[in-house]
Structure 1
Amino acid sequence: MASSRLTDTQIAAEAARRLAWDAAVPPGAVRVKVARGRITLSGELRSEAQRAAMLEDVTRLFGVTGVADRTVVRMG
């Protein structure tokens, strides 16, 4: 019987796809790494609204066991 758990590669691909489609998140601003279902986000954003949108995009993905937000918000 095959496992229904997604691989880290599949989770990373889906997270990247969702971030790319979200107009609130600047293209290429966020890097995604996944290890054992835990997503680590890094990069630079321009507002807390962008951070909120980014987190909304990835937090509820199937197979995600946690999210570490290492992004920096630089306003101005």
Structure 2
Amino acid sequence: MSSVRFADAQIAAEAARRLDWDSAVPPHAVRVSVAHGRITLSGELEREQQRTAMLEDVRRLFGVSGVTDLTVIKAH
């Protein structure tokens, strides 16, 4: 049985698209990179709820082997 694997560029594009569509995640606040199916997210968010929404958006994408969250919450 063969497994289907999406290219890292495809995963990154879909993750970015989902983040762009999510009104809970500020536009352009999160950078997405993908290596070997593992997503790395970086950037600054304003609230923990934004981080939760961001992670929900990308965790279940097809082809994702894991997520590394390097985002930080800005101090107010």
| TM-score (ref. length: structure 1) | 0.94
Contact kept in structure 2, 1:47 and 1:75, CA below 8 Å: no
Aligned to 1:15: 15
SS of residue matched to 2:4: coil
Secondary structure of the residue aligned to 1:57 is helix
Equivalent pairs, count: 75
Identity fraction in percent: 71
Q: CA RMSD in A?
A: 1.3
SS of 1:34's equivalent in the other structure is strand
**Which residue pairs with 1:24 in the alignment?**
24
Distance in 2, Cα, partners of 1:51 & 1:75? 14
How far the C-alpha of 1:74 sits from its partner, in A, is 1.0
TM superposition shift of 1:75: 4.1
Unaligned stretches of 5+ in structure 1? none
SS at match of 2:24: coil
Does residue 42 (structure 1) correspond to residue 42 (structure 2)? The answer is yes
| Runs of 4+ with deviation above 4 angstroms | none
